[in-house]
Amino acid sequence: MRRRQFGAGLLGSLGAVAGSISQAEASPQPVRLHRWLAVELFSRWGRDPLTQLQVTGPFYLQQQPFPRGTWQIQVHNHQLVLTGPGQSRRYWGSLWLEGGELRSPGGAARRYRGRVQIRPQGPEQLQLINWVELEDYLLALVPGEMPTDWPAAALQAQAILARTLVVPHLQPRPRADLPQGFHLRDSTANQVYGGLIYETPATTAAVRATQGQILTHAGKPIAALFHSTCGGHTSANQDIFGPPPQPYLQGVACEGCQPSPFYGPHRVRIPFEDLEQALGSSDLEVLQADPQGRPLRLRVGSRLLTGQEVWLRLGQTLGWGILPSNRFTLEPPSAGSRYLVFTYRGAGHGVGLCQWGARGMAEQGYSAQHILSHYLPGSQLTLLS
């Protein structure tokens, strides 16, 4: 949905409109939906496929208890092969695991709530799907999206947005035949999810305090966009991501994000050769910007690109720390210069909730509902049932 940084997210969704938030709090309207999520584990590996998994007991596999000890699971000719204490075993189809400690080669040990479906993906590759209930999923997700020592109201606002984002992915029950593309990923492709090791008392309290709460507009879950630092004002969704415009994502002033280390302005010099590698040209010119100064159209050599396209290509090629924000200006290069100077404010795409701004409002005593009504005006707080 959006790219993020932890707590200062680079790329960061059925509340109420300001003025009607109290009505939503007094009598929220329930929405009945399913409660299970399917999350692909170890998805951040990208091109490096998962070919081996280590499982340490005790755990249940196919509802059969396995004692303490360590087993290896691999795929051979589309069959799952379990080796460890005792005789090796072979399985067709999926295995269902409950409990235990999972470790990928060279990775840290992880534990997960719910059930883990282990299935072949091709002749030699594993795929792991964690089937987890919505509220349990959030316990391990919110800590990956916002620093856990931030004020409770900011963490609660983040929990509501995180819950809203995954509503379209809810399933009625775990199923072995879920098609590809219907599951979430545990990386920034969706939201960062690390299992039990991520859970903290503060974020667990935030999830519990907002149980079942999501944001809607016109009866549907909103596009719950968020980012680290807007730099003083958020932007309209159609300017950054294209149409259609969403009435609750039209940009608002933000005074709370000034303490962010990304607030700026900051200057960064990017060598011409890096620009040519990422964009195909080092000849850049901003042709149009939104009222907040985020470039909307740029000339890159002989081509026209959106500001978001330029920012994403730079981040994907050179690293997200090079230019943390899509809110930037360009300085004309001096004669003989071999670099281009970017001056940027903020971090992230600048649409929706500003996380550092939410922290600032929470520190001033505002509730999660007031924070959300400020950044997403026109949305309504709604309870799932």
Average pLDDT rounded to a whole number, residues 177-204:
86
Q: What amino acid is encoded at 199 in this protein?
A: E
SS3 118: strand
The reply to whether 302 and 375 lie within a common domain is: no
The answer to whether residue 6 is domain-embedded is no
pTM: 0.87
Domain termination residue (choose one: 80, 95, 124): 124
Cα→Cα distances 136→126, 173, 300, 316, Å: 24, 15, 46, 31
Domain termination residue (choose one: 66, 96, 124): 124
Name the nearest CA neighbour of 168 among 190, 146, 189: 190
The reply to whether 369 and 246 lie within a common domain is: yes
SS3 197: helix
The secondary element (H helix, E strand) that includes residue 376 is: none
Average pLDDT rounded to a whole number, residues 52-76:
91
The reply to whether 252 and 277 lie within a common domain is: no
Q: How confident is the model at residue 59 (pLDDT cuts 50, 70, 90)?
A: very high
Separate counts of helices (H) and strands (E) for the chain: 9, 22
Q: Which residue has the tokens 């004309």?
A: 332
SS3 128: strand
pLDDT of residue 33: 57
The answer to whether residue 370 is domain-embedded is yes
What is the total count of domains within the chain? Answer: 3
With a cut of 70, say whether residue 31 has pLDDT above it.
Answer: no
SS3 helix, strand, coil % of the chain, rounded to 5?
25, 30, 45
Domain termination residue (choose one: 66, 100, 124): 124
- Least reliable range by pLDDT among 118-132, 201-215, 227-241, 336-350: 118-132
Greater confidence (136 vs 15) lies with 136
The reply to whether 193 and 311 lie within a common domain is: no
The reply to whether 216 and 248 lie within a common domain is: yes
The reply to whether 192 and 310 lie within a common domain is: no
With a cut of 60, say whether residue 190 has pLDDT above it.
Answer: yes
**Tens of pLDDT along 143-165?**
999 999 999 999 999 999 999 99
**Tens of pLDDT along 84-113?**
987 889 999 899 999 999 998 888 899 999
| Owning domain of residue 176 | 21-39+135-258+349-384
The reply to whether 243 and 362 lie within a common domain is: yes
The answer to whether residue 7 is domain-embedded is no
